[in-house]
Structure 1
Amino acid sequence: MTATPPALPVLILHTGDPEPSLKERFGSYAEQIALAAGLEAGEVEAVPVHEGARPRAPQHYRAALITGSPAMVTDREPWSEDTAAWLREAAAAGLPMFGVCYGHQLLAHALGGKVGYNPTGSELGTQTVELLPPAAGDQLLDGLPASFPAQMLHAQTVLQPPPGAAVLARSDQDPHQMFRVGPNVFSTQFHPEFGPDFVRAHLERYQRKYMAENLDVPGLAANVRATPVAGGLLRRFLDLCAPAASRPQ
């Protein structure tokens, strides 16, 4: 009897971390995204690209998840541009991918979109995401409510989606909260992986900075709440686009 080969791992492109006190309490961004995706340690290959590490070729993975980061895509740091080149290769190879925040912006940049500072300012806390008409035919979003709360912590955003992208969701401050390129490359400006405790702690840690931007930090913190619909998207993505049992080695 022939043994079934082990499933290919899910690549986590680790693009940065919270500041040390938040990382100590809540884990790295790679750890938070793996937890939200329901992945065990043996299913994951986390590659800290922000430290100069490089992933293997796309065929070695069943999917890729791209984390958030305190870095800015527009800084065009060498590690970030190298990762963008890898993303183009992976998209051409048909690898399922899901980018979050910085990962969302980096995917857009890699595939021909435009990234910059959100002209409306930083978008923070728990905000409402509204699905757009193209979402009606999207399997990943099938059965979800027309609007739902999601966690936001970002200053830059996707100003222009990649050519051919289907824009799936918006918020009051951001017309490009979620897009899809082809059948299996998704990204969200919002954070499916963040829980309310992390968002509150982040707002507290950076309260002075955000208040200097004339933001109502106490009000934002008071509005932070659970986001179960957004929080389930990473698992749904893997179940739909890259189930472990159906991706041969």
Structure 2
Amino acid sequence: MKNVLLLKAGDAAHSVRLTVGDYESWFVESLAPGGCRFDILHVHQGARLPPSAEGYDAVMMTGSPLSVTQPEPWMEQAAEFMMNAGEHGVPVLGVCFGHQLLAYAHGARVVRNHQGREIGTVEVRLSEAGREDPLFDGVPERFAIQATHEDIVEHPPEGATVLAGNANTAVQALAFGPRIRGVQFHPEVQPEAMRALILARAEKLEVEAIARGHGPGERVPRLLAGIAPSPAGRRILQNFVEQFT
């Protein structure tokens, strides 16, 4: 049994929580059947971090509707905790917001994506380094995955290696040394959760689409129709637990 400390960095919209659960439940559903036990800390609500990650096999951080472009004290504290965990040999995985926070802690800039929000089932391509990284063992060079984010890591920080990217977001995955990884996409999100996320943001997505010159009523149906299975997501999470801990 692997003991995982999951740092919860935000809350899903109410409609999402009612239909498919909240962010932490998606990690639990993906990994608990394989032998993971989770302690969940709501760090965005001020939950106190332990002095260290000693006693845990891994630390993970969820996504969030909040933004690293507007740092808050709890973000700085969580970043320091994850950095310290990695330096002491505890594997760390940051997802979406968690990925951005790790990059920020390593000196990168996190910015709004000038290409606009990426949401839905997207294709991501592994770099040469990504094809060799154990996080992506058994994952094809090009794979479908769920994504939803407005912010991006502008450039990889010094010393980090880009493992994956796509046309919208060049830095989709990073290796920060031997035991710390970040992924911009959402390996924990399954198609039904992506559908709920799109529907919860339908009005905002419509406004964004019209502002970018798209016809009214086009974007949300197109996104919903494009949702596809993403088996690579669960494989990536399992790889992290099995090969890094």
TM-score scaled by length of structure 2: 0.91
3-state SS of paired residue (2:54): helix
CA drift at 1:171: 1.3
Q: Which moved more, 1:17-26 or 1:44-53?
A: 17-26
Deviation digits for residues 24-79 of structure 1 (CA, Å, limit 9, x no counterpart) = 22122111112222368982111110110122112231100110011011111121
CA drift at 1:82: 1.4
Determine the C-alpha separation between the residues in 2 that align with 1:77 and 1:52: 11
1:220 is aligned, of 223, 230, 237, to: 223
Does the aligned pair in 2 maintain the 1:36–1:232 contact within 8 Å? no
CA drift at 1:8: 6.3
- Alignment partner of 1:81 is 2:76: yes
Determine the C-alpha separation between the residues in 2 that align with 1:165 and 1:233: 19
Determine the C-alpha separation between the residues in 1 that align with 2:75 and 2:190: 26
Determine the C-alpha separation between the residues in 1 that align with 2:197 and 2:21: 13
Distance 1:41 1:136, change over 3 A: closer
TM-score scaled by length of structure 1: 0.89
Runs of 4+ in 1 over 4 A off after TM superposition: 39-42
Q: What amino acid is the match of 1:85?
A: E
- The residue correspondences of 1:99-248 to structure 2 (distance < 5 A) are 99-214=94-209, 216-242=219-245
Q: What amino acid is the match of 2:11?
A: D
Q: What amino acid is the match of 1:227?
A: S
* Aligned residues: CA RMSD: 1.7
Q: What amino acid is the match of 1:123?
A: E
Corresponding residue for residue 16 of structure 2? 22
Q: Which moved more, 1:228-237 or 1:135-144?
A: 135-144
Determine the C-alpha separation between the residues in 2 that align with 1:125 and 1:137: 27
Corresponding residue for residue 38 of structure 2? 44
Q: What amino acid is the match of 1:145?
A: P
Q: Which moved more, 1:11-20 or 1:156-165?
A: 156-165
3-state SS of paired residue (1:73): coil
Q: What amino acid is the match of 2:233?
A: A
Does the aligned pair in 1 maintain the 2:6–2:24 contact within 8 Å? yes
In structure 1, runs of 5+ residues without a counterpart are 1-6, 243-249
Determine the C-alpha separation between the residues in 2 that align with 1:181 and 1:155: 22
